[in-house]
Amino acid sequence: MTEKNREPYPLRLKPIFKKRIWGGQKLREIFGKDIPPFEKIGESWELADLPEDKSVIVNGQLSGWILRSAIDIYPKEITGNENFSLPFPLLIKFLDAEDILSVQVHPDTQTCRRLGKGEPKTECWYIIKAQAGAYIYKGLKSGVKRNEFAQAIKEGTVEKLLKKVLVQAGQCHFLPAGTVHSIGAGLLIAEIQTPSDTTYRVFDWNRVDEKGNSRQLHIEEALESIHFEPTEDDLSVTTEGRLVDSKYFKIDKVHQTDSCEVLLLPGQMKTLIILTGQGKIVSAETTEAVEFHSGDIIVIPAAYEGAIRFAADTEYLNVTI
């Protein structure tokens, strides 16, 4: 895709790996990611457009371009909207929770305005792998009030006020902004969220890093951000079909069998998260193909026309905005 030849094609992006105190090596073991060996890599940012982290295209004529720059030059071809508003409205990650994450919360728009800082964040977790007995914490137990929660933070007893949920592979958990939460150990997760890295920690299980330092907590900001009366609909769990249907993004879970072909017609940009299987995406106009395997993220431009050909039974998430 150049000024002279604007034919769109599926875009592959370079992952951005994040070392985390709770991370492991499953991204290498399960997906073959080229992460640093012997380091605790907790996150692979597969699609990002944040001030400090921006995805880079690694295939085709736009190889080496920042995704944001490509959209800025070719907004209609990639997004379907000549006046597409940047930053890109998604942040997609793989999370390897070898150990439990901190108890945390992300603010909503109103809280960001009230605090005068931060970016709102709504997210969902698709459980890819889960060891026996794996769990998450998702929301507060019924009736927990702000003063009670603040006292539990001081006493180090936050856990007893959280909803503990046993999880299995194939589940999708939606977490709107304002939901206090934590991911337990033994989980590999695809996280789809709005483009924000604003996280307020309220409890970190009394851990210290390799230098003996505790991670920073953000208690006042967290207390301002938590929704102490969430609805049950906010904490829904889905496993098939349309997993998420929010104002921020929509996610569909798709299964295709070996040797199946799915047509791709122009009209809407799609982001595919390949969970299992493999195949290739072929253009209706050229002989060029983009291959994919489990653990790949592919952005299909709105103007692209072609087909997905599956070389094995494949499961993937189709994310649209």
Which residues are catalytic, by number?
Answer: 201
Q: Is the peptide bond before 87 cis (omega within 30 degrees of 0)?
A: yes
Burial class (CB in 10 A: 0-12, 13-18, 19+), 60: middle
Paired tokens of 61: 């004529």
Rounded CA gap, 308 and 107, in Å? 38
Q: How far is CA 78 from CA 82, 121, 254, 319, in A?
A: 9, 24, 22, 15
What DSSP string runs through 101-136?
PPEEE---HHHHHHHT------EEEEEEEE-TT-EE
Rounded CA gap, 162 and 153, in Å? 12
Judge whether 297 and 271 are in contact, CB under 8 Å: yes
Rounded CA gap, 261 and 184, in Å? 38
Q: How far is CA 114 from CA 6, 35, 181, 218, 313, in A?
A: 44, 39, 22, 16, 49
